[in-house]
Structure 1
């Protein structure tokens, strides 16, 4: 698995009003307060997660090593627990999964910058 080229996945999500600071606080302490979630993220095959914001819009960009990584995470017990914390801050679907829209990658350019 480690020698596979990472697959990039990106999603748009939306925050509820006045939720940005609390959302950031939860994510900045995720490893300390939610170590089981951090472990599940890795176990699911998610190598990196980066989130950008233009309140209320969030753009999550990830690198994964398993096509089903996000589905695995979203259907894990620990993610259900995390969802109960995030639900008051974000828009969720009726099935308990965050309401997100996948983005299609249309361009990528790799260079050797920083490699020497």
Structure 2
């Protein structure tokens, strides 16, 4: 499993609406996320900055998702009024490089 992280920016005052959409994420989008090879996704916020952490099964998982009809629909109908996008319709994001990762046996001790 590989890890990927991105930062993204919300438009001013849009955090509550962004969270509402994600609290009610479309089942067909979740199915496409899975088909694309994204095993998990977590989004943190420090308004207006979002930090997305994911675990993926192959390098092309995000590119696969970003070029699907359902992701285009999600972007157009839900995210466009809330976030900043590039000219090609992909969310304006910056990839982060992992510089440290630690796993311990703490979970096994519970």
Q: TM-score, normalised by structure 1?
A: 0.92
Cα deviation 1:55-110 (Å, max 9, x = unaligned):
00000000000110000000000000000110110000010000000000000011
Deviation of the 1:114 alpha carbon? 1.4
RMSD: 0.6
What is residue 44 of structure 2 aligned with on the other side?
52
What is residue 111 of structure 1 aligned with on the other side?
104
Instruction: Find runs of 4+ consecutive structure 1 residues off by over 3 angstroms.
Output: none
> Is 1:96 matched up with 2:89?
yes
Tell me how far apart the structure 1 counterparts of residues 92 and 75 of structure 2 sit (CA, whole Å). 11
What is residue 43 of structure 1 aligned with on the other side?
35
Deviation of the 1:35 alpha carbon? 1.1
Query: How many residue pairs end up in the alignment?
Result: 108
Q: Which of 1, 10, 19 is the aligned partner of 2:5?
A: 10
What is residue 71 of structure 1 aligned with on the other side?
63
**Long gaps (5+) in structure 1:** 1-5
Tell me how far apart the structure 1 counterparts of residues 60 and 35 of structure 2 sit (CA, whole Å). 12
